[in-house]
Chain A
Amino acid sequence: MAEVSFPLPDLGEGLLEATVLEWLVKVGDQVERNQPFVEVETTKSSVELPSPISGTVLTLHGEPGDVVLVDTPLITFTVADDSAGIVGTVPAEVAPKRRVRLSAVLDED
């Protein structure tokens, strides 16, 4: 298992911080990629942030009402070491299957 932190991104242009309004997940929850996990408020708007990865919530960095700075950790997940990237899936290891049999008279002269 690996820990992956997601820092607060700049949600506008040149915003420095956001206020946590409500956590939509709690520690221990399994979160899917693109699932909204928090609602934050900036000086421009309030928005729900989608999770960039699938994983289990390890730490929520802040309580509702707390101000979080851009580029500082917002949430930390634990993810499986063999989890896929942003795109695609990890190929399943399957036993090789065949329908073709080889038949050959080998003339090894």
Chain B
Amino acid sequence: MKPICLPATLDSLDEIGKYVVAATTEAGLDTKAAYGMRLAVDEIATNIITHGYEEAGRSGEINLSGVLSDSSLTMVLEDTGIPFDPRSQAAPDEDDLCLPLEERSIGGLGIFLVLKGVDDFSYEYAEGRNRNILVAKRQSVANS
């Protein structure tokens, strides 16, 4: 798919969502896997916009691309915000998930949903760019 480049603002989340939906449709992912990828990309993009740019007083762009192979759909988000590894946030554990809402911490839910939503997630920082890489196996491969 042709990559897109969008301003790193929350208003771009809608366009990012449309791009992911188009990619997951082309990949033939089932409803659960397609939604998981859309959710994961939304969470990562939100992290980039809020932590990588806005809280750092920066402005910039997010590049999003989708690569389809016989076995998987890979979505890659690239940005020039401050180095930020989403995996540095502690995801809630089983005990946290059972806490009453009034006792829950609001942190870590995003990365939790990322890790639950896709088959593989990785992050790297190179040459001034953050790269978040999300992979969903295509149905025929996932079932084999």
- Say whether A associates with B: no
List the interface of chain A (C-beta within 8 A of B): none
On B, residues with C-beta under 8 Å from A are none
